[in-house]
Every structure is written in structure tokens, then in C-alpha cells.
Structure 1
Amino acid sequence: MAAPALRYPYLLSRTLDPIFGLFVGVAAFYLYERRAGREDGHTLNELVARRYKLETSRFSGNSTAVDSGLPNATKQTRLAEAAAFENSAK
């Protein structure tokens, strides 16, 4: 008579498995981004930071692009990109 097969429903535990999966996914993406390289201003950290500033400025009533000290052409470009992103998300 054969012994019953053991089943392991979780790798670590029910709670730690999703956290471990997120950690592995984020780490893999950062390693890929470092290896592949991105142009300045388009890394994940910079894009998340820019989006966070836009969202917080929307709630506080300030315009981040206007107060940032950037050249006017860059300000207009970033404001247009943010508006296009908001319209595409709706």
C-alpha cells in the first residue's frame, strides 16, 4: 500500500505568501529596470514620485509644476502629460 501524497498548500504561510510574492515581483522589476535602463525622468521611482506630487497638489490646491522651478516649456509639457493621463484613466 502506497503512502498518501503530502500536500503543501502554502510555500511559507497563508499570510506571508502574498507578501513574499509582491517582494519578489518588485525586486525582479527593479533588477530589470536597472539592467535595461530608462531615460531620465521615466524610471519607476520618478514616475511614482511625480504622480504622488500631482495627486497631493490637487488636494491642497497647489500646482506642483508651476512651483518647481522648471522651464516653462517643460512645465507645459508635464501638465499636458498629466492631463492626458487623467483623461485616459477615466
Structure 2
Amino acid sequence: MSQAYLISKRLDPLFGMAIGIYGYYLYEKEHPRPQGKKLQELVMKRWNNRNNAASSETV
């Protein structure tokens, strides 16, 4: 019995991720988060904390 693919064996995971990201975008558009709690702001805060911690350890 052969596998069934929508597009191809390698593109199906990328297609699934694209659908998931687009679904998340639509959800966030319909249900916005409060200021300071948006995903991009939280990720940037975490990124800056990690970079600052790594740079202070090397000094």
C-alpha cells in the first residue's frame, strides 16, 4: 500500500507548517493580545535577555 501525499513527500510538511502559521495569524488578527503581550514582543524580550546573559558571561 503506497503513501498518499497532498503535494509531495517533502513539501507536505512545509505546506502543513504554512497552514498552521496562517491559522495562527488569522486567530491573532481576530483576537488581539494586549499591548506588551504580543508574540513578537515576548520573543524579542526573551531574545534580548538571552543575548545580554550570554554577553555578560563572556566578560
**TM-score normalised to structure 2 length:** 0.79
Q: Which whole-Å deviations, capped at 9, do the CAs of 1:37-63 have from their partners, x for residues lacking one?
A: 11001111111111111111111118x
C-alpha displacement of 1:8: 5.8
How large is the Cα RMSD of the aligned pairs? 1.8
Stretches of structure 2 that go unaligned for 5 or more consecutive residues are: none
Indicate yes or no: 2:35 matched with 1:40: yes
C-alpha displacement of 1:12: 0.8
Aligned partners of 1:34, 1:61: CA distance in 2, in Å? 38
Equivalent in the alignment of 2:16:
21
Aligned partners of 1:23, 1:61: CA distance in 2, in Å? 37
**TM-score normalised to structure 1 length:** 0.55
Deviating 4+ runs (over 6 angstroms)? none
State the identity as a percent. Answer: 38
Instruction: Count how many residue pairs are aligned between Structure 1 and Structure 2.
Output: 56
Q: Which has the larger radius of gyration?
A: 1
Stretches of structure 1 that go unaligned for 5 or more consecutive residues are: 1-6, 63-90
